[in-house]
Amino acid sequence: MKTLASILVLAALASAQAYADCSYPRAPDKVPDGNTASMQEMIAAMNQLKDYNAQVKAYTDCLKLEHDTALAKADPNMSKDQKSELEKVYIQKNDAAVDAATAVTSRFNEQVRIFNAKKKKS
């Protein structure tokens, strides 16, 4: 049992090292308020969001590449549980980045709807 625990710790450390080169993208600081934002502010926010989404894509691509590289370099005798642990770490990091990007995009889209509704009333 101690051996399995040691192996899992080593696998987690190896996976952390494997993902160390991928830089987690920083989300835009704020989403403009659709009730008060100008067209220029909304466009600037949209451009920031596009850049952020591109950075998230680059990050998730990097994670995938490093995950695949780690598996290719892994001991051929690595157990199924160890491989599963590496896969789990990859999936968690990937999903966290995608979820964060989705949340920011959703907040921005809501403010765009508010902005457009305000514009129609004018």
More confident residue, 106 or 13: 106
Nearest to 23 by CA among 56, 69, 71, 50: 56
Model pTM score: 0.78
Tens of pLDDT along 69-92?
998 998 888 888 988 999 999 999
Torsion angle, CA of 41/43/45/48, rounded to 10 degrees? -140
pLDDT tens digits, one per residue of 27-59: 999 999 999 999 999 999 999 999 999 999 999
Token pair belonging to 47: 């451009």
Q: Is the pLDDT of residue 64 over 50?
A: yes
